Structure 1
Amino acid sequence: MAQKYDKPAGTPVSRPSILGDTKTTVAPEKIDFVFGKSNYQLLAISVLLVAIGFVLMSGTTDIYSNTKIVIAPLVVLAGFGMGFYAIMKRKTA
């Protein structure tokens, strides 16, 4: 079975008319993404927060430090929460 080939948007398309063949140009279609710019920015910040949290958790000295037990897990959870918010947030105009 042969595949149908469509011309890309924005290329001249010939359309027959009563007076003869005329060439018209179709306007290019606007690409609509699922997420907006702010969603991607928030997602990048959340990835950074998670990375910072894991860096705070790493290390070999003083296993029971306050930073490794309390602060770093809170930073990681904040990063995951922000990532969830970035995915669920509606796209702004």
Structure 2
Amino acid sequence: MGKKQKEQTGKQVTQEFIFQKKNYTFFFVGLAFIAIGFILMSGGGSDDPNVFNEDIYSFRRIRLAPTLVLIGLGIEIYAILLNPHKKKD
């Protein structure tokens, strides 16, 4: 997993990455939630600026999409704070 490196004293030091596979898994799940939220938020405009389109106030754009983005941000924070080295009792 980590690189091994010799110090000047002759001891081997193991260097590991801060984030492990579990962190990156949660990171990509969070990114997927954010991307889906922004995709659902897009659209709803009108080709003619003189015509108002009521679709801009749909449940999908006002409630669902922002909720998915906020859930995705929460998952991102969890992925950053997750300690994969913590042992279960």
What residue in structure 1 maps to residue 71 of structure 2?
Answer: 78
Deviations 1:11-51 (A, max 9, x none): xxxxxxxxxxxxxxx8x854300011100110011011100
C-alpha RMSD over aligned residues:
2.2
**1:59 and 2:43 equivalent?**
yes
Identity in percent? 39
Looking at secondary structure, tell me which structure has more helix per residue. Answer: 2
Aligned residues: 71
Relative to the length of structure 2, the TM-score reads 0.68
| Mapping 1:1-93, distance limit 5 Å | 9=5, 30-60=14-44, 62-92=55-85
1:30-78 deviations in whole A, cap 9, x for unaligned?
Answer: 4300011100110011011100000000012510100100010000000
Task: Specify every segment of 5 or more residues in structure 1 that has no aligned partner in the other structure, as ranges.
Answer: 1-8, 11-25
With normalisation by structure 1, the TM-score equals 0.66
Q: Which blocks of at least 5 consecutive residues in structure 2 are unaligned?
A: 46-54
Tell me the distance in 2 between the aligned counterparts of 1:92 and 1:41. Answer: 15
Moved over 4 A (4+): none
Amino acid at match of 1:45: V
